[in-house]
Amino acid sequence: MEFSVIDEKTISPTVIKVVGVGGGGSNAVNRMIDAGIKNVQFIVANTDLQALGGSKAPVKIGIGSKLTGGLGAGGKPEVGEKAAQEDIDAISNALKGADMVFITAGMGGGTGTGAAPIIAQAAKEQGILTVGVVTKPFHFEGRVKMRLAEDGIAKLHEQVDTLIVIPNQNLLNIVEKTTPVKQAFLVADDVLRQGVQGISDLITRPGEVNIDFADVKTVMKGKGDAILGIGKGEGNSRAIDAATEAINNPLLEDSHIEGAKNILIHISCGETLSLAETNEIVDTVTETADPDVFIIYGQAVDPAMGDGVAVTVIATEFPNGKNAYASSAASFGEKKSADDDNLVSYNQWETIGHGSKSSSTFDFPSRSQSDSSSSLSASFGSGTSSFARSVRRPSESAAEKPQKSPFPSSSASTARSKDDIEIPACLRTNRISLDND
């Protein structure tokens, strides 16, 4: 029997590329380069040639210069999309040779929102494992920008293998009120940095129980939405602390891991981690996953970690093809629908407003109910006054009503404000019957 010896020099290393698209994506790449990420190649693509000149990425692609004259996309995703299509050959050439590509962008603007799906499609056509890591706007940036972001995310979702969404709004729940803007964005970028560095490390560093690129591909190729987290722990409860932190990332759209069908778990630790602690980590991570979850587990000993433990988790393929992105859109839609259900007819308001009639149809709220109504508006940040309960005039028939959408157009919102009358807080209820709606 003959045996062949594999020369490690002949094994092709896994090539990981990070593409920052638009202003937000380019800024994220700059901060990753500053953080010293290794074993990764950086690319940026932008319509704004002046901003592109300030990028630290070694590969810079100006897109759509014929279309925009070297200026930005003006906040129009359709311009960003056409710009990427204009220079698709340059984009495809820059992606060649990659095994895995991370595409990062700030959704809601012009270039990132429009160009990211086109770049992802170019990577997909080359058979590259493609992962999207994108941010959504703050609530104070308005509904129009949020709607553009959601549309862009939906298009990107169709082109990437897995997608990770980071709402910027979540930063307000994490950072101190006095945290400077630049430092706050560093926190958001950390999700991308940890993801890229974590995957790079587990692929390139051999371990006691090894994980390679084929394992990563098994978990992430064509799996839709993903949750990615890294947790660290020390002391007596280090194993559970690290695992719990890894699956509860407060920055993600929704870090719940319930029902996941594929989970990759990689443990980095010193030489003292026991088998029982390893079991605790895997049990904690997979506790709410699908009963038949497919688990890929790896472990690497790093003496430099001492008594510390680091756990990297990638979870994919959630029930009904949903998790973070889908559940967020549904949640937003449910809250909007609830608001529409609290519209009462103009005649009803006339009756109640003049105090000429008492009706069991209108139950006056308790203080807790009023507080609940207030917290609903507060949860959407600024610009939520249109969520206040209002009165629709009887002239608007059911046939004339616009289709309900989680992101109503600004014109529709304006039309309502002209014809509707807001019910004072003292008269608001959790549920009001609709006679003429």
Could you list the residues known to form a binding site, using ranges: 23-27, 110-112, 141, 145, 189
What are the strands, taking DSSP E only, across 26-128? Answer: 41-46, 59-62, 100-106
Q: Which of 265, 277, 273 is nearest to 303 (CA)?
A: 273
Determine how β-strand 262-269 pairs with β-strand 224-233.
unpaired
Instruction: Residue count of the chain, please give it.
Output: 437
Annotated binding-site positions for GTP: 23-27, 110-112, 141, 145, 189
Q: How far apart are CA 299 and CA 311, in angstroms?
A: 9
Torsions phi, psi of 403, nearest 5? -65, 135
- Are 285 and 311 a contacting pair, CB within 8 Å? yes
CB 17 within 8 A of CB 41: yes
| Alpha carbons 223 and 305: distance in angstroms, whole number | 32
In terms of DSSP bridges, do strands 224-233 and 309-316 run parallel, antiparallel, or are they unpaired?
antiparallel
Angle at Cα 162 formed by Cα 159 and Cα 167, nearest 5°?
100
Structure tokens at 126: 């080359």
In angstroms, the CA 241 to CA 232 distance is 7
Residue 61 identity: I
> What stretch of H or E contains 262?
strand 262-269
* DSSP single-letter state for residue 108: T
Residues 6+ apart with CB under 8 A from 434: 341, 343, 344, 345
Q: In 3-state terms, the chain is what percent helix, strand and coil (to 5)? A: 45, 20, 35
- Tokens 């799906």 found at: 117
Q: Are 299 and 208 in contact (CB under 8 A)?
A: yes
Distances (CA, A) of 104 to 43, 115, 126, 234, 387: 10, 11, 18, 32, 32
Q: Rounded CA gap, 159 and 154, in Å?
A: 9
Alpha carbon distance 144, 325 (integer Å):
18
The first and second tokens of residue 338, run together, are 């609830």
What residues form DSSP beta bridges with 104? 20, 133
Give the whole-angstrom CA distance, residue 129 versus residue 36.
23
